[in-house]
Amino acid sequence: MTQENTMIKKLDGKVPTGPVQDRWKTHKFNMKLVNPANKRKYSVLVVGTGLAGASAAASLAELGYNVTTFCIQDSPRRAHSIAAQGGINAAKNYPNDGDSVYRLFYDTVKGGDYRARESNVYRLAEVSSSIIDQCVAQGVPFAREYGGTLSNRSFGGAQVSRTFYARGQTGQQLLLGAYSAMMKEVSKGKIKSYTRREMVELVTVEGKARGIVVRNIVTGEFESYSADAVILATGGYGNVYYLSTNAKASNASAAFRAYKKGAYFANPCYTQIHPTCIPVSGDHQSKLTLMSESLRNDGRVWVPKIKGDKRSPDQIPENERDYYLERIYPSFGNLVPRDVASRNAKLQCDAGFGVSATGMAVYLDFADAIQRKGEDKIRAEYGNLFEMYERITDQNPYKVPMMIYPAIHYTMGGLWVDYNLMSNVPGLFVLGEANFSDHGANRLGASALMQGLADGYFVIPYTIGNYFASEKFAKVETTQTEFATALTTSKNKYAQLLAINGTKTVDEYHRALGHIMWEKVGMGRNEAGLKKAISDIQALRADFWKNVKVSGLSVDVNTELEKAGRVADFLELGELMALDALERKESCGGHFREESQTPENEAMRDDANFCHVAAWEFQGVDAVPTRHIEELTFETVKLTQRSYK
Amino acid sequence: MSGSNHDTMSLNLKVWRQKNNKDKGSMVDYKLDGVSPDMSFLEMMDTLNTKLVKEQGDTIAFDHDCREGICGMCSMMINGQAHGPEAETTTCQLHMRKFKSGDTIVIEPWRAKAFPVLKDLMVDRSAFDQIIAAGGFVNVNTGNPQDANAILIGQENAELAMDAAACIGCGACVASCKNASAMLFVSAKISQLALLPQGEVESEARTRDMVAKMDELGFGNCTNEAECEAQCPKGIKIENIARMNREWVKGAFAARK
C-alpha cells in the first residue's frame, strides 16, 4: 500500500512563534476583528450541538453572527457529550497541590505521547480556568465543599487534583449549560435550531466551504443551507468498531463526507480504548457501557495469580491476587493513563488470567476503599455508577468486585485543522472530538470536555472573526449548481441503498466490520494483521454494495436507511484507519504496534521517523489516499520515553 | 460469549404502529422468541426489528441514543408505565430479566397533545426546547466572569440544585400525568436556577415566562396526583413543583408589568 512520495505536502499548522506561554495572547492581538455592527452580516452553520457545537453556536450568536445549528437527535440537549461522567480538568490549583497552566500543558503533551502540537495544548491549558468560571456563571451545579467552594478530584494520568465534577454526570451538566446558553440565543432569534437533521454533503463554492446538504430524518427529504462558514462539531468515529461506548447515532458521516470533498483526515489510527467498561455479555449486545475512570481512584484492579482460577473472588485470598497495576507502576498504580491500563488488562487476559465466564475481564475491587472510607462515603461519590453497574449486570458491586474490560471510547484522530481550528478547506472549521488537534496519540481523562468547551467558548469566537475579516464573500444561494449537484449526489446514494434489496441487514455488516477492527486495528496492531484488515474490509465493502438489505421507504422515518448511510461511510473509514496504522511504524499512545515495544512491553516511539501528524487526502473510494505530513516540534517539553513507573 | 443466564424467553408484544403524523395508527401483535434475559429492552426491540427487516417489513421506529440512561432520548409506555416497571430506570437500562417468558407486553408511545406522534413510538418533544428557550437559562454571555470560587454555594443548596438538574428531559412526567402536565420538567429547571445565586436574580421573570409558554403549548395543569414523581426515571421530586409555585406567586405579586 505504499506509494511514491511525489505529491506529499508539508502542512503548515499556522502556529505563532515566540515563547509558548505568549503565543495565544500575541495571536489574539494580531488577528483581524470584525466590527460589532458588521457581525450581523455574516452567517455560520454549526453541525452538531454537543459541548463544542453548542458552546460555539451560543458564543458566536452572542457576538452578533447569524447562526444556524443542526443536530441528529430530537433536541440539541441530547448530544453524546451528555454521557461523560467523571469530570473536566482545569488548572485552577484550588487544592494548592502544585498545579499550574504549565503542569496541565506538560501532562497533556506527555499523556498524548508527544504527538500533539505544543502551541495548541498550551492554549488549551491556558483557557481551562475560564471554562470553569463560565460554567459556574451559567448555573452548572458542580460539586461543592461544606464552605461553599468547588470540589476537585484526581484522575488517571495526573498527580494533582484538578478535575471538577457534578456527581457522575459532569458531561450532562456542562452540556445543559451550553444548551441553555444556546436556547437563550434561539429566543433572541440569533440562532435557528434544526433538529432531526443529518448532514450528508459539504458544499464548496470557489474552493470555500459555503454550505451543507442535510437529510430530514422525519420526512426523508434533502435540504440545502448556505452560509459564509461551516463548523463541524460532529464528534468522533468510535462506532466504526460497532461496539463502543458511543451513542447509537454517533457517526463519522459529516466529517467523512467533508474528507471526500477535500478536507484532510489526520491520524485516523489514534483511537482510545477506555479501561473501565462493563464486559460484553452476549451477541445481542448493541453498545458498551463505560464506568467512569474516577472509579480507579478508589478501586483496585486485580486478577488471580493462578491461570484460569474459577473460584469466586471472595474465595481468593489476598496473597493469591495480583494487583498488577500497583506492582508494575508503583508511583501511579491504578491511576496510570488509559492506554497503559487498557493494554495491561488485555495482556493479563491474553495470558489466561482473565475472569468472568468469557475470561475477558479483570476485577475492580472496592472492598479496601469501603473499609477505609465507609460504604456511605463510597455511595456518595459513586452511587449512580454502582447502581448502573447493578442494573446492567445484576451484581452488587458493594459486595462483589466489579468486572471490567476495555472498550473503544474516544478517537483522537479527526479532520486536520490549523491553529485557528480551520481545515485545509477555507471556511470549514472543525471543533471538539471531530478535529485531531489537542490530545496527540492518547487523551487524558477529563480532557475531552475541556477541549470541546475551549474550542467553542474561547477559540472559535476569535479565529472565525479573523477569517471573515481577511476574506471577501460573494453572495451564495442554495439554487446554485454546487448545491444542486450535492443534492442530486445525496439523493442518488440513498436511492441506491434502498434499491440493492439483498439478504444481509445493515447491522450484520456493521458487526462484521467491528469484529475486523477490534481484532486487527484494536489494542495491539501488527503489519500482517493490518494488511489482512485492509483486504477484509475491501471485500466486506464490495459485498455491502451488492447484498445489503435496507427495508422501508425513502419518505418518512426510516431508521434502517439512516444506519445504512452511516455504515457505508464506516466501511471506507475503517480501511483508512488500518492504512494509517500500517504506515505509522511506531507505537505511540493508543496506537500500539507490536513490532515497536520496549523489553517491558511499553509503547516505543520512533521520533526520528514519525514525530509528525499524518493527514490523508482522499483520491477516490478504491484509490490509495495521499499521506501528507505536518512536522511536530517540541521546544518546551523535552521528548522522552513516557514512564509511569 | 456467554451471559449469566442461558434460558431464552418467548414474548407476545403488542406495539403501536403509525406510519407518520397523519396516519391513524393501531396496535399490532408480534411474537418474539429467543429473547435473552441479559438483553436491554431496546436490544429486545432491535431483535424484533432485525426479524422485521428479514421479513420485508418496515421496522418499528423508536427514539434512543446513548443507551446509558442519560440522554433522555428513549421513551415508550411499557404496560402502561413510562419507561416500564423498574423504578428510576429508563427504557434503555431496563433489562429483560424483569419479565417472564410468555409475558404479554404492551408498548405505546408517549401520549400527550403537546407531543404529537411522528412514527410508531417516536414523538415530537420540541415543545420542551421551546419552554427552555422561554427562560430556562442564566442571562450571561461568554466572556470573563468572576473567578468560580467567588460565588460560594452552601452544600445543601448545591445538592438540591443538582437533584433538580439531573432531569433528562425525556417527557415521562408528561406521559404519565392524566393532565399531560409538564410541571415536573419545568419546575426542575426553575428550581435548579432559583436555588443558585447565579440564577436567583431572574427567577421571577423566568418562572412567569416558562409557565406561560408551557400553558400556551397545550400542557395541562397539576392536580397533585404525583404520578410524575413515581415514574420519573431520575427521581425528580414534586417539591420542585411547590418551589415553582412559590416563585410564580412571588412574581405575580411583585410584577411591574
pLDDT digits (tens, 9 = 90+) for A527-571: 999 999 999 999 999 999 999 999 999 999 999 999 999 999 999
Q: How far apart are CA A447 and CA A90, in angstroms?
A: 9
Say if residue A6's pLDDT is above 60: no
Name the domain boundary from A409, A428, A457: A409
Q: How many CB pairs under 8 A join A and B?
A: 231
CB proximity under 8 Å: B 54-73 to A: 54, 56-59, 61, 63-73
Name the domain boundary from A362, A392, A409: A409
CB A53, CB A231: distance < 8 Å: yes
Pairwise CB contact (< 8 Å): A180 & B52: no
Measured between beta carbons, the chain B residues lying within 8 angstroms of A83 are: 66, 68, 70-71
Q: Select the residue from B5, B19, B71 to test the A interface by mutation, using most A Cβ atoms within 10 A.
A: B71
Q: Which residue has the higher pLDDT, A380 or A222?
A: A222
CB proximity under 8 Å: B 202-241 to A: none
Q: Please give the grid coordinates belonging to residue A516.
A: 475486523
Mean pLDDT score, B180-209: 97
Say if residue B257's pLDDT is above 80: no
Minimum distance, in Å, between the CA of residue A143 and any CA atom of chain B: 7
| A154 occurs within a structural domain | no
How distant, in Å, are the alpha carbons of A51, A154, A168 from that of A438?
16, 21, 24
What pLDDT band is residue A643 in, cutting at 50, 70 and 90? Answer: confident
Hey, is the C-beta of B39 within 8 angstroms of any chain A C-beta? yes
The secondary structure element, H or E, covering residue A539 is helix A527-547
Pairwise CB contact (< 8 Å): A172 & B161: no
- Dihedral of the CA atoms A458, A463, A469, A474 (nearest 10)? -110
Mean pLDDT score, A97-123: 96
> Same topology for domains B9-119 and B125-254, yes or no?
no
Nearest to A187 among B40, B133, B152 (CB): B133
Pairwise CB contact (< 8 Å): B142 & A133: no
CB A79, CB A49: distance < 8 Å: yes
Domain at A518, CATH number: 1.20.58.100
Q: How far apart are CA A475 and CA A12, in angstroms?
A: 29
Measured between beta carbons, the chain B residues lying within 8 angstroms of A183 are: 129, 132-133, 136-137
Q: Select the residue from A78, A179, A195 to test the B interface by mutation, using most B Cβ atoms within 10 A.
A: A78
Q: Select the residue from A75, A389, A462 to test the B interface by mutation, using most B Cβ atoms within 10 A.
A: A75
Phi, psi of B67 (to 5 degrees): 55, 30
Say if residue A3's pLDDT is above 50: no
**Nearest CA-CA partner of A274 in A365, A193, A142, A364:** A364
The pLDDT score that the predictor gives to residue B139 is: 97
Pairwise CB contact (< 8 Å): B71 & A287: no
DSSP assignment of B33-77 equals: EEE-TTSBHHHHHHHHHHHHHHTTPPPPP---S-SSS-S-----E
User: A25-47, pLDDT tens digit by residue?
Assistant: 999 999 999 999 999 999 999 99
Say if residue A159's pLDDT is above 90: no
Class of domain B9-119: alpha beta
CB A92, CB A472: distance < 8 Å: no
Q: Please give the grid coordinates belonging to residue A113.
A: 505521547
Q: Is A276 left (phi over 0), alpha (psi -120 to 50) or beta?
A: beta
Phi, psi of A362 (to 5 degrees): -125, 165
**Nearest CA-CA partner of A70 in A262, A283, A204, A234:** A234
Minimum distance, in Å, between the CA of residue A248 and any CA atom of chain B: 5
For residues A385 and A512, state if they share a domain: no
Measured between beta carbons, the chain A residues lying within 8 angstroms of B140 are: 137-138, 181
Measured between beta carbons, the chain B residues lying within 8 angstroms of A141 are: 158, 161-162, 165, 192, 196
Amino acid residing at A488: T
A90 to chain B: nearest residue by CA?
B148
Hey, is the C-beta of B162 within 8 angstroms of any chain A C-beta? yes
Mean pLDDT score, A245-254: 98
For residues A298 and A396, state if they share a domain: yes
Domain locations in chain B as residue ranges: 9-119, 125-254
Nearest to A281 among B38, B73, B143 (CB): B38
Pairwise CB contact (< 8 Å): B72 & A78: yes
Q: Select the residue from B42, B70, B110, B124 to test the A interface by mutation, using most A Cβ atoms within 10 A.
A: B70
Name the domain boundary from A409, A424, A457: A409
Say if residue B3's pLDDT is above 70: no
The pLDDT score that the predictor gives to residue A266 is: 98
Strand order through the sheet with A43-47? A191-194, A66-70, A43-47, A229-232, A428-430
Pairwise CB contact (< 8 Å): A148 & B56: no
Say if residue A22's pLDDT is above 90: yes
Say if residue B2's pLDDT is above 70: no
What pLDDT band is residue B57 in, cutting at 50, 70 and 90? Answer: confident
Mean pLDDT score, B240-256: 90
Pairwise CB contact (< 8 Å): B3 & A282: yes
Hey, is the C-beta of B84 within 8 angstroms of any chain A C-beta? no
| A398 occurs within a structural domain | yes
The SS3 assignment for A1 reads: coil
Q: Select the residue from B32, B63, B65 to test the A interface by mutation, using most A Cβ atoms within 10 A.
A: B65
Q: Please give the grid coordinates belonging to residue A112.
A: 498524548
Pairwise CB contact (< 8 Å): A457 & B53: no
Nearest to A141 among B97, B119, B158 (CB): B158
| A23 occurs within a structural domain | no
Domain total of chain A: 2
Mean of all residue pLDDT scores within chain A: 95
Residues of A noted as catalytic: 338
Q: Please give the grid coordinates belonging to residue A125.
A: 491549558
A550 to chain B: nearest residue by CA?
B53
Mean pLDDT score, A144-172: 91
Say if residue A342's pLDDT is above 90: yes
CB A418, CB A247: distance < 8 Å: no
- The DSSP 8-state label assigned to residue A178 in this structure reads H
Q: How far apart are CA A552 and CA A508, in angstroms?
A: 17
CA B156 centroid distance within chain:
26
Rg, C-alpha atoms of chain A: 24
Measured between beta carbons, the chain A residues lying within 8 angstroms of B91 are: none
Q: How far apart are CA B65 and CA A97, in angstroms?
A: 39
Class of domain B125-254: mainly alpha
Mean pLDDT score, B152-166: 96
For cell 412526567, name the residue. B173
B36 to chain A: nearest residue by CA?
A284
Burial (0-12, 13-18, 19+ Cβ within 10 Å), A100: middle
Q: How far apart are CA A152 and CA A163, in angstroms?
A: 5
Nearest to A75 among B59, B166, B169 (CB): B169
The secondary structure element, H or E, covering residue A376 is helix A375-393
Mean pLDDT score, A91-115: 96
What pLDDT band is residue A380 in, cutting at 50, 70 and 90? Answer: confident
Mean pLDDT score, A312-318: 94
Q: Long-range contacts for A330-336 (Cβ within 8 Å, ≥24 apart)?
A: A330/A645, A331/A644, A331/A645, A332/A157, A332/A159, A332/A644, A332/A645, A334/A296, A334/A297, A334/A299, A334/A300, A334/A301, A335/A154, A335/A155, A335/A156, A335/A157, A335/A158, A335/A296, A335/A297, A336/A156, A336/A157, A336/A644
- Other CB atoms closer than 10 Å to residue A528's CB: what's the count? 9
The SS3 assignment for A153 reads: strand
Contacts of residue A151, defined as CB under 8 A and 6 or more positions apart, other chains included, come to A142, A143, A144, A145, A164, A165
Say if residue A601's pLDDT is above 60: yes
The pLDDT score that the predictor gives to residue B256 is: 66
User: A433-480, pLDDT tens digit by residue?
Assistant: 999 999 999 999 899 999 999 999 999 999 999 999 999 999 999 999
Q: How far apart are CA B241 and CA B222, in angstroms?
A: 9
pTM listed for this prediction: 0.96
Measured between beta carbons, the chain B residues lying within 8 angstroms of A247 are: 65-67, 71
Domain at A301, CATH number: 3.90.700.10
The pLDDT score that the predictor gives to residue B4 is: 45
Q: What's the domain range around A566?
A: 487-606
Pairwise CB contact (< 8 Å): A280 & B3: no
| A71 occurs within a structural domain | no
The pLDDT score that the predictor gives to residue A4 is: 47
B158 to chain A: nearest residue by CA?
A141
Minimum distance, in Å, between the CA of residue A345 and any CA atom of chain B: 18
**Nearest CA-CA partner of A176 in B69, B164, B246:** B164
Say if residue A5's pLDDT is above 80: no
What pLDDT band is residue B21 in, cutting at 50, 70 and 90? Answer: very high
Q: How far apart are CA A526 and CA A578, in angstroms?
A: 10
Q: How far apart are CA A553 and CA A535, in angstroms?
A: 33
Say if residue A429's pLDDT is above 70: yes
For residues A397 and A520, state if they share a domain: no
ipTM over 0.90: yes
The SS3 assignment for A439 reads: coil
Rg, C-alpha atoms of chain B: 21
Say if residue A172's pLDDT is above 90: yes
For residues A402 and A299, state if they share a domain: yes
- The DSSP 8-state label assigned to residue B230 in this structure reads H
| Counts of helices then strands in chain A (DSSP H, E) | 17, 21
Pairwise CB contact (< 8 Å): A74 & B63: yes
| A147 occurs within a structural domain | no
Q: How far apart are CA A385 and CA A397, in angstroms?
A: 10
